[in-house]
Amino acid sequence: MREIIKGFQATSQDDYQLNVTNIIKHAARNYGGQEIAARRPDGTMFRYTYREAYERMQRLANALKGLGAVVGDRIGVLAWNTRETYEIFFGVPGTGSVMLLLNLRLLPQQLSWVVNHSSPRFIIVDESLIPLAEEIAAESQKVEGYIIITDKDIRDIKTKLRPVYSYEALLAGAAPQFNWPNLDEKSAYAACYTTGTTGRPKGVYFSHRQLVLHTLAALVEYGMTPSQGRFHREDVYMPMTPMFHVHAWGCPYTATLSGAKQVYPGRYAPDVLLKLIAQEGVTFTHCVPTILQMLLTAPGSKDVDLSKLKMVVGGSALPRSLARAALARGIDVFAGYGQSESCPMLTAIHLTTKQLSEEPERQVEHRTNPGLPAPLVDLRVVDADMEDVPRDGKTPGEIIARGPWLTMGYLNNAEASEQLWAGGYLHTGDVATWDANGFIHIVDRLKDIIKSGGEWISSIDLEDIILEKKGILRAAVIGVRDAKWGERPMALVVLDPEFTGKVEEDAIRDHVRSYVDKGIIAKLAVPERIMIVKELPLTTVGKIDKKVLRERYQRQEAA
């Protein structure tokens, strides 16, 4: 199919490759004096410039070469949101080695499985995570070495890991300039494993080309909005999702190419994040709803000015009550939609100037909608035959997508890859409606939808309604088996500590019923079982873990 243009001899232009090295090179050359601030484990701040960070990335690349790493090798990373992780984000893939981001919240046996499945030659380990690395290592013997991120002399580190190297000593001993290879843009750049709903973790890989295109398109998405949720060069960026979770949603790369100041919080907790927002003047961040909720309710939160913060919320649906609470604090909060398989950006909402002048409750409605597809993302909502469902805002279907940066499939898992890409589109497993303007409205995860008496009940809608009631902090709705209806919704509710004992299950049910009376939900959607619980289980990336809830309460039902 490729047409060779007559009259053109191949020149070096033809060999231009989209790879991550070009991002950092550009930033270091043109914004070399820009600041990166990083919190040390002791709470003090470390500061350096893009230029200095780039030099350390080159030292890291030379160090890896010195250890014998070659193009295609996997290099594992077990670390927090530190500046060293940021250095690794460029220093490792730039050499042609593949960055394998390990989810430090997985169980040790899961991580051992991941390591054996993906075969990293070396693993870079934060000193504080050595005990976890040792547990992993007990079940995965092929790793050739561990590189420890520590301020200490490596001889003073007590560990069973063998052999060990000091990240700092390796960098100190390496040359400050690296001759980056002109990597083929379709070679792998990074991988991370998702904890699927069933079975083993699944590994998604992305190529250099995909990451670069994701970076450009994200900057377009966040640059083209007239004002709401806008990212620009003078913003101050800090990640509030783990960097092992789809490389912090790609945002460290977008921040770097734009030349913005960056803040790395290390191992973070809500109080640390609040302090850094105030101290470093953070203006742009991203997180899952749970983190936002923690940020708003943490002790001392009310004393921190959050009115300059822009925040994209993804990973799970953004509840209206949470959006309302964030807006009340002055946060420019808005929804984005994506998943690990999609690198992750698929959509984001950006309000028009006209929408920004609408009344607050209408804004909440807009801001919790996932919005329009990002540039070049081809998103469809389809039925079981992959035909588009009507764009009527009410017929549900599955969201499928094509675009320049979607994973090709799951590593070493042909069957799951085929399912993921059935019919030439990536199947998201999310159910949505869409309207005539192309806006999608997510109904539920396909696996979370409650199928009751032939009808589909959205767990997200029910949670949103329950959270509207004063005194309720978190809510999860799951389907439990029912002999008559197939499934029935069940609600698990966590109360705001101040309201302990003051909200009863019946009152919640009455609250939900009032939405039946208003014609918003069907009668069948009212949960018979509502249970007030102390806490809800979270997944490793901070979402409510409905798989665990289903297992727990199905079992009770069966018992």
Residues 6+ apart with CB under 8 A from 384: none
Q: Which of 50, 165, 205, 337 is close enough to bind its own copies by CB under 8 A? A: 205
* Interface with its own copies (CB under 8 A), residue from 109, 177, 279, 353: 353
| Binding test (CB under 8 A) with its own copies, winner from 402, 447, 509, 547 | 402
Q: Considering only residues 175, 220, 507, 531, which one is a binding residue for its own copies as defined by CB under 8 A?
A: 220
412 binds its own copies (CB under 8 A): yes
Element (H, E) at 475: strand 472-482
Q: Among residue numbers 151 through 190, which ones bind its own copies (CB under 8 A)?
A: 181-184, 186-188
How far apart, in whole angstroms, are the C-alpha atoms of residue 265 and residue 252?
Answer: 13
How would you classify residue 532: left for phi > 0, otherwise alpha for psi between -120 and 50, otherwise beta?
beta
- Smallest distance from its own copies to CB 101, Å: 16
Which residues in the 10-49 window bind its own copies by CB under 8 A? Answer: 10-14, 16, 18, 22-23, 25-26, 29-30, 32-33
Catalytic annotation present for 456? yes
318, 320, 324, 326 alpha-carbon torsion, rounded to 10°: -10
Q: Residue 226 has what DSSP assignment?
A: S
Active site residue 451: yes
Instruction: Answer yes or no whether residue 72 interacts with its own copies by CB under 8 A.
Output: yes
Residues 96-155 binding its own copies (CB under 8 A) are: 96
Give 259 or 336: the residue with its C-beta nearer to its own copies: 259
| Residue 242: cis peptide before it, omega within 30 degrees of 0 | no
Active site residue 485: no
Binders of its own copies among residues 355 to 374 (CB under 8 A) are 372-373
Candidate segments 102-110, 224-232, 264-272, 362-370, binder of its own copies by CB under 8 A:
224-232
For the chain, the 3-state helix, strand and coil shares in percent, each to the nearest 5, are 35, 25, 40
Distance (Å, whole) CA 45 – CA 38 = 6
Catalytic annotation, pick one of 21, 82, 95, 194: 194
Classify each residue of 345-357 as buried b or exposed e, where b means 16 or more C-beta atoms within 10 Å of its C-beta: bbbbbbbeeeeee
Stretch that binds its own copies, among 140-148, 221-229, 243-251, 524-532 (CB under 8 A): 221-229
Identify the CA nearest to 93 among candidates 244, 236, 206. 206
Residue closer to its own copies, measured from CB, 259 or 542: 259
438 is a contact residue toward its own copies (CB under 8 A): yes
Residue 355's identity, in one-letter code, is Q
User: How is the beta sheet containing 426-434 ordered, strand by strand?
Assistant: 378-382, 397-402, 426-434, 440-445
Nearer to its own copies among residue 328 and residue 376 (C-beta): 376
Q: Which of residues 479-508 bind its own copies (CB under 8 A)?
A: none
DSSP state of 199: S
Positions annotated as catalytic residues are: 194, 341, 451, 456
